[in-house]
Every structure is written in C-alpha cells, then in structure tokens.
Amino acid sequence: MKKLVLAAAAALSLASVDAVAAPAEGVELLKVDWSFKGPVGKFDRLQLQRGLQAYREICASCHSLKYVAFRNLTDLGYSEEQVKALAAEYEFPAIDDEGSDTTRKGTPADHFPSPYPNEKFARASNNGALPPDLSLITKAREGGPDYVYSLMLGYEDPPAGFTVLEGMHYNKYFSGNQIVMAKQINDDQITYADGTKATAQQIAQDVTAFLHWAAEPKLEARHATGFRVMIYVVIFTILAYFLKKRIWARLEKK
Amino acid sequence: MSTEKSVWRRAFEWHEQRLPIVTFLDNSVGTKYPAPKNLNYFWNFGSLAGFMLVTMILTGVVLAMNYTPHTSLAFDSVERIMRDVNYGWLIRYMHANGASFFFIVVYIHLFRGLYYGSYKAPREVLWWIGILILLTMMATAFMGYVLPWGQMSFWGATVITNLFSAIPLIGEPIVTFLWGGFAVDNPTLNRFFSLHYLLPFVIVGLVVFHIWALHIPGSNNPTGIEAAPADKIPFHPYYTVKDAFGLGVFLLFYFAVVFWAPNMLGHPDNYIPADPLVTPPHIVPEWYFLPFYAILRAIPDKLLGVVAMFGAILVLFVIPWLDTSRVRSANYRPVYRIFFWLFVINAAVLTWCGAQLPEGLPLILGRIATFYYFFFFFVIMPVVGWMETPKPLPASIGTPVLKPAE
C-alpha cells in the first residue's frame, strides 16, 4: 500500500500537465446535434473532409493520430488515387539498399506520423505536457465529442482573482481550468477547400466529427447492422411469443 | 405403412445403445425433465445465464485469436481488433457488454433464489454451487477487464490486488505472488490472460454440477411448496419455448446496448493506454463490483474492509441456516417480504455509493447500507423467521393456479 501511495503522489505531481478523462466540475458542456448521434446516425462525409483538413493544418503540428492509416481515408469519400497522393505528401524514415538511413514517401498502408521524434522531445516543446494522441480522444474523455468541441472553444479571460501559471492558458472546460495548449482555433484560421465559411465553431465541429470518426470508424456499420439485427430479434420474439401461447394452450385442454 | 425402421433410426439407436447422449439431454433439459407448471418469468434467468456463458466463451475465443497479452502491445491489439479485424468491433462490444449483461442476469437469478427461498432444504448444495459460479465469474470478469491494458485496467488491477496486502504477515508475499513481480506489469498481464481463458471452462464444469444438483430435488417454484407430479409439466416443449421467448426479449436489451450504446457501461479512462506514472483521479471498478467496493470503503480499517467485502458474498453460503423460516416463498411471508425489498433497494444504494468518492453523503449512506446488508442476513433472517406468522400455504400448486391471481 505504501508503494501505491507513493505512486499516487508521484502521479499527482504530473497530473496537472497530463490529460485526465474528466472535464472541469459543474460546467455545462456545449451541446452539438451531431449527425452521428442516435441509432441511425451517420457521418457527414463533407464535414469529415473539412475536419481532416483542419486536423492536418492545425492539430497535427502537436498531436499524433497513430491508429488511423491513410488507407482508412477512403471512408471519408476519397478515391484510392487521392489517398495515395495524400500519403505521398508525408515522409517516413527508411533504410536504403546500402543500409544507410534515408526517407521514403508515405503509402496508404502507413499511419499518420507523430509530429515529435519521442516523448521527451514532445514534452520539452510543450512546457512539460505531452499532447495526447487524438485517435481515441472522443471516447477517452467524459462528455465525448461535446467535451472535445467545448474544450476547443472554451478559452476566455480568467475570472478576477484567478492566477494562471506561466505557460498555461485559462480554459473553462478543462479540469483545473489551466491547460498548456493555447487557443488554436479562430475564425477564418484556415480556408476550406469546399468553400464553407471557417468560423471557429465550424472548425471545432468539423474537427471533432473527424476525430469521432477516427475513434469509432465502424460506427456506421454498427448502426446499420444493429438495425437489421433488431428487426430480426423483434420478429423472432413475436413468433416465440405466439408459439409459447399455442404450446401452453395444450395444458388448458387437459 | 411400413413398420421397417429407417436406416437413420437404426443408426441413431445403435449409437444411443453405446453412448446415450440424446437420452441424457432429454432427461436433463428435455421431455423427461418434469418442472413445476407455475414457474414465472423470473425462472427464465437460469437459461439466460447459460446463454451468456456460451456467448462469452465463443466471442472470447475469437478475441483471443487476435489479442496480444503484452504490456506494449495489448492496447494496440485491441484497437486492431476494433479497426482491422473483420467484425472485430462487433465481437469485442458483444464480449465487453456481455460481461455486464451476464452479471445482470446472474444477479436477477440470485435475487429470485433469495425471494423464493430456493436456498432452503433440500437445495443447499445447489445454492452453494451457484455461489461458487458467482465467485468464479467475478474473478474472470476482473481479470478480463485488465486485458485491454487501459488506465482503469491497470489501476483497477493495482488497487484490487493490493487488497490482499491487508492480510497480516503473508499479505505482501501474496501480492508479489499475484503480480509475478514487484508491481503490476507484464507477468501480471500474462497470468491474468491465462486465467481469464481458463476460468470460464471451470464455470462450465460448475454449471454441470449446478444442473445435476438441480435435478435431484427438481426446480423450486413461486409457491415454494413441493410440486406434486400432477403439477409438473415436461421441460420441453413448455419451458424451452418460454425460454426462447424470454431470450428474444433479453436480446432486445443486450443488442440495443451493443449496437447503440456500446461504451455506456464502460469508463472513458480505459481508452487511455495504461500509464504507471499517471493515476486517474477516481479509480472505480466495473458497475457489477460497485456494491462490494462500497462495502470495502465503508469500513475505515483496511483489513476489516477486505473481510467485509469478501464476507458479503461468503455469507450467502450459510443463509440456508441463518433463515429460520420453514416457508420458502416470500409470497407467504408478509414481514420478511418488506425486508427483502428493502434489501434490494439497499443493494442499489450500495451500487450508487460505490461509484462516488468516499466522502460526505456517499460515505455515510454507504456505511448505513453496509450495516443493513449484514443486518439483513445475520439478524432479520433468523429473527423474522422465528417471529413471523406466515400466510397459509396452498395445499398444492394446482389450487392457487386455478384461482384467479389476487
């Protein structure tokens, strides 16, 4: 038990800069009517494409997305050629025929690369904090997509008397209200390829939807399969009910 | 019409003479097993538990084909199952939520036994085997939750295994033995995986004994009185079809969660890979352990807390003798029935308390509920059994069944 307490104490000293799954207490999250909500919810392909663009142009400079491979991007409505071209924009370390270090172009089989060579480098670049991998972020936080969306828009001036430590930023929704990540999303920060007006809310929504796809890529298949399975089970249950009534009626005849 | 037996019939009889497996099944859960005709829908949960056990083993075997029990690969291999294995997401969500639904079914089955006095003579051994199944299930579920190697996996394993350190003298060596080292690490994960695969088959063995012990006295029934042969009907087709209907209703709930809210019963922290240097601010077990977790934390002394937590289940072994009433069914026990339903509410309160931080109201409420939990078994069961005047029992099952329900 002593060891546990020590571990806990050691961990608490890090907890202020490392991510925890709970949002700030007592704060109402911003609610979005996500297209993927509900039993028949689906992703909005154009929104996911905008979210991908926002991730690549804003988030990817600090956050990895290691469980997502470029080949998965065909789910967003891109053709295989488009995916190949996108993957080729990235460079990966490789070893050439002479055994020397070199680089090669990315292929659809590659996953999104980490922006940092290692964890120490990442922490040194971010005031001691490690920017979390975003592949599962909407499932790894209480409040899910609503929390991720709220966090991106939760930057405001601290209330009077609240001291924000150096290198930290006030965020209404973050646990403890101080976060190393500075405000990243502003109106017209990027220019959307599809011409959608890039308000801060729009960007935050698009990137959250994209991240929810990254966390739960089989969501549409799950909803669709679930619907068919339910129809089957309902019919089975109704038939079983009438069969039960019919068989038990034999007892009354006796 | 020819009286010649078909070749299939003769082959079947040839085989039955040598290994009468169909006769055996027919005697066990078929036309030759007479069951009381008045069983209500609470009697569906035994077969539902059997269905969930098979579901868990089948999905689990497939998951094990794709899972890697190593601290550096476990989390990644689960994500690979979710993303790249064909229908891996379905298999995993069925398995993860299956554990919850298995517990829901088994808890209802247990409360049914408690209400209708199914633990009383001559069914004590049947009841004991049921408790052994519950204990084995709990061990299996706990170790299964560790396998994805998320934050809650790691810290849950750390907290629960550390409980054994409360045992005087041999506590620390036991913990080291469980861990296979001096911290929860790769050896812990390896042995938990091995045991998580083994124990379900131990449960299958216990289920065989459970059904065997059931067949000696036969099923209890809502009146609690012995069923006369005239009041019994063959298990097949009457209860097979009733169980099929019950299964359909159950699957509606199970699949609704699997397909539409698969992470509702889980914890977001378990989608963060395990990190021994970062403790989640609030470590909680899965919901089905919360009542026992609340009992553990209600008691200020660690050793006594652990004793109370295990005692909360072990007390079930002796309730055939703690309950002094000869009347089985609580339907005929007007006083006991009130305390029984209070006990059910109390269990819900403990579940809620287990999920809260142990301070303020949840702690006080948890202590009161822990007190009532043991008060119910050690005081109410013997005392109410002596003092209470039960309602008159029917002469036979046929009597109340023919009359319209009250």
Q: Measured between alpha carbons, how far apart are the two ends of chain A, in Å?
A: 68
pTM: 0.93
Q: Which two tokens stand for residue A11?
A: 């961990």
Q: Which residues of B touch A249 (CB under 8 A)?
A: none
- Do residues B229 and B350 both lie within one domain? no
Q: Which residues of B touch A237 (CB under 8 A)?
A: 245, 248-249, 251-252
- Do residues B166 and B294 both lie within one domain? no
Give the closest-approach CA distance of A247 to chain B in angstroms. Answer: 7
pLDDT in tens, B9-62: 999 999 999 999 999 999 999 999 999 999 999 999 999 999 999 999 999 999
- Do residues B251 and B343 both lie within one domain? no
Q: What are B234's strand-pairing partners? A: B34
Give the closest-approach CA distance of B111 to chain A in angstroms. Answer: 25
Domain boundary among B247, B278, B309: B278
- For residue B403, pLDDT over 70 is answered with no
Rounded average pLDDT over B74-84: 98
Q: Kindly report the average pLDDT of chain B as a whole number.
A: 95
Where is A180: in which H helix or E strand? none
| Whether the complex's predicted ipTM surpasses the cut of 0.90 | yes
| CB-based contact, A105 to chain B, within 8 Å | no
- Do residues B81 and B102 both lie within one domain? yes
Q: Which residues of B touch A16 (CB under 8 A)?
A: none
A236–B248 C-beta distance less than 8 A: yes
In order of B104, B114, B325, the CA distances from B342 in angstroms are 19, 13, 18
Burial label, B168 (beta-carbon count in 10 A; 0-12, 13-18, 19+): exposed
In a domain, residue B195? The reply is yes
- Do residues B256 and B157 both lie within one domain? yes
- Do residues B192 and B296 both lie within one domain? no
A247–B252 C-beta distance less than 8 A: no
Cα torsion angle, B279, A15, A146, A137, sign: negative
Place of tokens 């308000």: A199
Q: What are B150's strand-pairing partners? A: B273
Provide the number of structural domains found in chain B.
Answer: 2
- Do residues B259 and B346 both lie within one domain? no
- The B residues from 242 to 271 touching A (CB cutoff 8 Å) are 242, 244-245, 247-249, 251-252, 255-256, 258-260, 262-263, 267-269, 271
Q: Which residues of B touch A21 (CB under 8 A)?
A: 151, 267-269, 272, 280
Q: pLDDT under 50 in chain A at which residues?
A: 1-17
In a domain, residue B117? The reply is yes
3-state secondary structure of A59: helix
- Do residues B88 and B157 both lie within one domain? yes
Rounded average pLDDT over B130-139: 98
Query: Roughly what angle, to the nearest 10 degrees, separates helices A45-57 and A200-215?
Result: 100
Q: Kindly report the average pLDDT of chain A as a whole number.
A: 91
Q: What is the CATH number of the domain that holds B379?
A: 1.10.287.980
In a domain, residue B18? The reply is no
Spell out the domain ranges in chain A.
218-254
Q: What is the pLDDT of residue B308?
A: 98
- Do residues B186 and B261 both lie within one domain? yes
pLDDT in tens, B147-191: 999 999 999 999 999 999 999 999 999 999 999 999 999 999 999
- For residue B335, pLDDT over 60 is answered with yes
Taking CA–CA distances from B182, the nearest residue in chain A reads: A3
What's the CA gap between B85 and B78, in Å, rounded? Answer: 10
Q: Which residues span the domain enclosing B259?
A: 24-278
pLDDT in tens, A38-65: 999 999 999 999 999 999 999 999 999 9
- Do residues B267 and B302 both lie within one domain? no
Burial label, A18 (beta-carbon count in 10 A; 0-12, 13-18, 19+): middle
Q: What is the CATH number of the domain that holds B269?
A: 1.20.810.10
Q: Which residues of B touch A141 (CB under 8 A)?
A: 268
- Do residues B223 and B134 both lie within one domain? yes
A223–B260 C-beta distance less than 8 A: yes
- For residue B391, pLDDT over 50 is answered with yes
Q: Strands, E, within A135-218: which ranges?
A: 169-170, 178-179
Q: What percent of chain A has pLDDT over 90?
A: 88
- For residue B107, pLDDT over 70 is answered with yes
Give the closest-approach CA distance of B375 to chain A in angstroms. Answer: 30
In a domain, residue B405? The reply is no
| CB-based contact, B237 to chain A, within 8 Å | yes
- Do residues B303 and B157 both lie within one domain? no
What's the CA gap between B124 and B266, in Å, rounded? Answer: 35
pLDDT in tens, B308-321: 999 999 999 999 99
Q: What is the pLDDT of residue A252?
A: 82
Torsion of CA B314, B320, B322, B327, to 10 degrees: 150
Rounded average pLDDT over B287-309: 96
pLDDT in tens, B193-250: 999 999 999 999 999 999 999 999 999 999 999 999 999 999 999 999 999 999 999 9
Q: What is the pLDDT of residue A20?
A: 62
Q: Measured between alpha carbons, how far apart are the two ends of chain B, in Å?
A: 53
Q: What is the pLDDT of residue A8?
A: 44
Give the closest-approach CA distance of B166 to chain A in angstroms. Answer: 9
In a domain, residue B120? The reply is yes
